[in-house]
Amino acid sequence: MDLTITNLTKKFDNFTAVDNINVTMTTGVYGLLGVNGAGKTTLMRMLCTLLRPTEGKITCNGKDILAMDGDYRKILGYLPQDFGFYPEFTVKDYLLYISSIKGIKPIVAKKRVRELVAKVGLQKAFNKKMKNLSGGMKRRVGIAQAMLNNPQILILDEPTAGLDPNERIRFRNLISELAEERLVLLSTHIVSDVEYIANEILLMKDGQLIHKGTVVDLINSMKEYVWVCHVEKNMVQNLSQKNKVSNIKSDVNGVELRIISKDKPVEKATRENATLEDVFLYYFGEKAGVNNGTI
C-alpha cells in the first residue's frame, strides 16, 4: 500500500498553508514534525479528504483519493486534534455510537469495540463516562474510534498533546504496535514523540516539506554542527545572540553551552554528537518559526 502526495498545495485566499509538497509513504510510522502553524493539520485534512487541495493530488495505490470517495474512507482512520467526544457517554456507548455512524453492523461493532478497548488498555474504563477520563485515556479512546474500521491508513493529529510522560510512553508503544501492519502518520511539535518510533520524519515549515528521512539521516545532515563549551557567565549573552543555543547548564565555575553552528563558536569548544532535538533547533530556530533556520 502506498500513499503518494504530488505537488500538493492549499491556499486560503492569498495565504499558502501547504506549499507544493511531494512525498510517498508506505507501511510504518511517519512523524510529521513542525512548529505551530507549519501546515500540519491542513495537510492531514487533505489526506482525509476533508479539505480539497488548491493544486496537486493525493493517490492511494495509484488512485486519486477524491475519486475513491467511500472506498478510501473505508481504509482510513483519523484522530483530529480536537476530536468531538460526548462527555455523558460511557467509553462503550461512545465507541458503539461511532461504529453506527461508520456503518458497522451492531454485532460486529460489539466485538470490535471490546477488542479495541483491550488494545488501547481501557478495559477498566469501559463503563466510565467520557467526562471522567484523564487526557491520556481520552486520547486512547480517540485512537480506538479511529481504528474501528481497522484502517490501512491511520492519521493522528497531535495525539500526544497534553499527555504526561507516562502516558506519552504508553502512547508511543501503542502507535508502534499499530504501525506494524499499516501506515501511521502522526503530527507533533515534540521531538521525543517521534524520535524513537518513526521510520521516517517529515519536517514541515511554512507549508513546505523541508526535510524527509530517517532520524539517522537527519542527524547525519548536521553531525558536525553541534558544539559544547564551558564559558564564563558574562559570555553567555553574546554567544546566545550569535548562535543557536540548544542547552545552557550553570555550575559553580561558569556555564556549559550546547551550540548549533557550522563554525566553531569559541576556541575551546568541542564537537558533540547531534540529537534530533538539535536538528529541530537547527531547522526551526531557537524562537521557533521566527528565523529561517539558516546558521
Which residues contact ligand ATP by CB under 6 A?
12, 15, 17, 34, 36-42
What is the nearest approach in angstroms of ligand ATP to the Cβ of residue 289? 10
Q: Which residues contact 255 (CB under 8 A, 6 or more apart)?
A: 230, 231, 232, 233, 235, 236, 248, 249
Measuring CA to CA, which residue among 143, 141, 43 is closest to residue 94? 141
Q: Which of 225, 283 has the CB closer to ligand ATP?
A: 283
Collapsing DSSP to helix, strand or coil, 109 comes out as: helix
Question: Which cell is 263 given?
Answer: 563554525
d(Cα 44, Cα 49) in Å, to the nearest integer?
A: 9
Least distance (Å) from ligand ATP to the CB of residue 177? 25
The 3-state DSSP class for residue 83 equals: coil
φ/ψ bin of 121: left (φ > 0), alpha (ψ from -120 to 50), beta (otherwise): left
Of 201 and 259, nearer to ligand ATP (C-beta) is 201
Name the CA dihedral angle for 54, 58, 64, 68, rounded to a multiple of 10 degrees: -100
Judged by beta carbon, residue 148 or residue 204, the one nearer ligand ATP is 204
Burial of 89 (0-12, 13-18, 19+ CB in 10 A): middle
CB of 94 to ligand ATP, least distance (A): 24
C-beta of 70 vs 84, nearer to ligand ATP: 84
Provide, rounded to whole angstroms, the least separation between the CB of residue 188 and ligand ATP: 9
Q: Which is nearer to ligand ATP, 161 or 236 (CB)?
A: 161
Q: What is the dihedral of CA 13, 207, 153, 173, to 10 degrees?
A: -140
Instruction: Report the residue number, 17 or 146, with the smaller CB distance to ligand ATP.
Output: 17
Shortest spacing between CB 52 and ligand ATP, in angstroms: 12
Q: Hey, which residues does 9 pair with through a beta bridge?
A: 55
**Number of Cα atoms under 13 Å in the Cβ half of residue 238:** 7
To ligand ATP, the closest distance from the beta carbon of 196 in angstroms equals: 21
- Smaller CB distance to ligand ATP: residue 79 or 231? 79
In whole angstroms, the minimum distance from the beta carbon of 251 to ligand ATP comes to: 36
